[in-house]
């Protein structure tokens, strides 16, 4: 089993309320890879990106190596460095500040041959709307071409729009890129709020009509809506006390894709996804050790 998650790993600074900050690593595609690895220790899991050649980039690679996550043929960009964001706390409210305009990950499609090598032999290749948003238009086309090639060679393509409007020039640009991505996808894992539809059923049926064979609409603590060629189902969420929703959707995607990679049915995979997400929201932080 070989899984590739394509995206950006950022440095995360977290306010500890006493004038100290702790540093970690985060990113939506990275979070998903983390949970696929946790659930499938026997699988080959890769995080496909681009890295700098500074000390912080070395720490990123060390972190991934310790987690059992490879980097396939991800390039190292001379002079580049990771993106950074800080989480500040004001009472119980969090605010985020980003420095990512020169992130090395923006160059993840700068070497088309390396990207093709990274996706070669994948059973599932996964990417998100944030992956698309950080790329310049020519590199986005390179990514689409690499995904088309991987799909032609037997990979299933999974896409989560994970819509972040601030990363796009405007909403229309984002929706155009998402339409291209959905046209490539075998599995779609959107959040209901990102789809601008009246109901999860309407959202899923629109994507199914566009050619996506398998759709799971994430609806937070409400049931996920599953639509495949065999019909539809609502998969109830696992109810827990919510402490921190950071990484909830990413972990759901990891739980679902790990299930599909291991041969579970879509229904069984969605139930597993809910169980994983429930553990994540019941604790602080996006990356936890599953129990």
Burial class of 264 by CB neighbour count within 10 A (0 to 12, 13 to 18, 19+): middle
Q: Could you give the angle at the alpha carbon of 218 between the alpha carbons of 233 and 256, nearest 5°?
A: 80
Tokens for 85, please give them: 């964001």
Answer whether 199's CB lies under 8 Å from 231's CB.
no
Question: Of 28, 139, 194, 250, which residue is the catalytic one?
Answer: 250
**Which is it for the CA torsion 127, 129, 134, 136, positive or negative?**
positive
Answer whether 128's CB lies under 8 Å from 160's CB.
yes
Does the annotation count 250 as an active-site position?
A: yes
How many CA within 13 A on the CB side of residue 253? 31
Q: How far lies 72's CA from each of 4, 69, 108, 118, 125, in Å?
A: 8, 9, 12, 5, 12
Q: Which residues are catalytic?
A: 250
């Amino acid at each position: 089993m070989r899984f590739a998650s394509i995206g950006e790993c950022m440095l995360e600074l977290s306010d500890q309320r006493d004038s100290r900050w702790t540093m970690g690593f985060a990113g939506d595609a990275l979070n998903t890879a983390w949970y696929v690895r946790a659930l499938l220790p026997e699988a080959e899991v890769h995080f496909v990106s681009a890295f700098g050649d500074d000390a912080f980039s070395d720490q990123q690679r060390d972190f991934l190596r310790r987690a059992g996550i490879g980097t396939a043929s991800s390039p190292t960009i001379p002079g580049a460095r990771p993106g950074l964001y800080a989480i500040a706390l004001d009472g119980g409210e969090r605010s985020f500040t980003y420095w990512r305009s020169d992130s090395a990950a923006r160059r993840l499609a700068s070497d088309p041959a390396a990207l093709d090598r990274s996706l070669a032999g994948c059973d599932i290749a996964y990417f998100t709307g944030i992956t698309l948003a950080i790329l310049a238009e020519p590199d986005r086309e390179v990514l689409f071409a690499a995904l088309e090639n991987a799909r032609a060679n037997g990979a299933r393509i999974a896409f989560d729009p994970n819509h972040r409007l601030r990363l796009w020039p405007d909403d229309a640009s984002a929706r155009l890129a998402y339409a291209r991505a959905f046209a490539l996808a075998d599995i779609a894992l959107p959040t209901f709020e990102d789809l601008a539809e009246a109901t999860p059923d309407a959202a899923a049926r629109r994507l199914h009509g566009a050619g996506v064979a398998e759709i799971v609409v994430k609806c937070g603590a409400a049931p996920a809506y599953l639509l495949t060629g065999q019909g539809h189902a609502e998969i109830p969420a696992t109810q827990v006390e919510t402490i921190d929703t950071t990484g909830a959707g990413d972990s759901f995607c990891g739980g679902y894709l790990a299930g599909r990679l291991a041969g579970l049915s879509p229904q069984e995979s969605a139930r597993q996804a809910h169980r994983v997400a429930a553990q994540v929201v019941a604790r602080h932080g996006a990356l936890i050790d599953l129990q």
